[in-house]
Homo-oligomer: A and B are copies of this chain.
Amino acid sequence: MSIEQIQSQFALGIDIGGTNTKFGLVNQRGEVLIKDRLKTTDYPEFIDFVDELYNKIKPWIDEYAQDAVFKGIGVGAPNGNFYKGTIEQAANLQWKGIVPISNIITEKFGVPVKVTNDANAAALGEMMYGAARGMKDFIMITLGTGVGGGIVSGGKLVYGHDGYAGELGHSIVKPGGRKHWNTGSRGSLEAYASATGIAITAKKMRAEFPDSLLNNYHEDEINAKTVFDCAEQGDEIAREVFRYTGQKLGEALANFVMFSSPEAIFLFGGVIQSGKYITEPAKMYMERNLFPIFQNKVKLIFSELDEADAAILGASALVWA
């Protein structure tokens, strides 16, 4: 196949989130040709959601298909199952039970559809278009409203027996610890290192330290962003919130490293805006908990993908993976 032919293909990437769905056409160089979004929550029925997607995207496809081949559709979604092409029991989506999204979307668009969860899609995107190019063993951690994981081993995504491998946010980092608001489990990484977890930590800590700048905000305003603002202004309590978050993250990362021995761990998502306040303690506690043969080897890297496009890119990467 000539280079010209490779460039003249495009894919559709769809990233389904609990609140918003982002989608766009992507060429094989990883350039987003055109994109848009819609509110996931506006469509209680999945079939209506797909109809609306089709109405928005069909004109784009018609236009780009004049010069290039439409290769297929990749979808990143919570609890997306690669083997079955389904979304199953996704806590953050209003479509309940098992939704055969691959079949439904294929029927509408007439091309093959591949599905995986959002963190796996991010890992694929990083491997094809980001800082993981050429790496065969790495882990992607997405730090946002939730915490997700995508594991690449020997150059391939680890899907596991049933397609659900990499649920790293549900790893227990503190047995008997903080109760998760959704799953009810105790002491999971997500309970501490997600945006929701950081807000919980911040609310607890500001209650103990009345002088903290965190007390200048209304309860509803406490989030990773406001904690970051306080930390930047020198507030020690806000910094302690991130240090504690980083500690829990680092302890979890150490266990991940001893499992799959990656070359690097990538951090991606809104929470990484907090930068060194989280990564320095994360790195320190990771190293401290590592068996000596792993120490000072694993790079901790912020994702290189532009956050606005990364979800679309990652989903589209499924088409070429």
Task: Please give the residue numbers on chain A whose beta carbons come within 8 Å of chain B beta carbons, in ascending order.
Answer: 79, 88-89, 136-137, 149, 151, 153-154, 156, 158-168, 170-175, 183, 185, 251, 254-256, 258-263, 289-294, 297
Contacts and interface: CB of A to CB of B under 8 A. Distances in A.
- Residue from A79, A153, A292, A297 whose CB has the most chain B CB atoms within 10 Å: A153
A47 to B, nearest CB: 24
Contact of A293 (B79, B256, B291): B79
B151 A260 contact: yes
Contact of A88 (B149, B262, B293): B293
Closest 7 CB pairs of A and B: A160-B261, A165-B261, A170-B291, A161-B263, A137-B161, A167-B258, A171-B255
Contacts of A175: 173-174, 251, 289
A172 B293 contact: no
Contacts of A259: 149, 151, 165-168, 171, 256, 259-260
A88 to B, nearest CB: 7
A23 B30 CA distance: 53
B159 A289 contact: no
B260 A160 contact: yes
Given A160-B137, A183-B292, A170 B261 contact: no
A263 B161 CA distance: 5
Nearest to A288: B185
Nearest to A184: B292
A52 to B, nearest CB: 28
Contacts of A251: 172, 175
A207 to B, nearest CB: 24
Contact of A261 (B88, B161, B174, B263): B161
Given A185-B289, A255-B171, A291-B183, A153 B158 contact: yes
Nearest to A91: B292
Contacts of A294: 164, 167
A306 B245 CA distance: 46
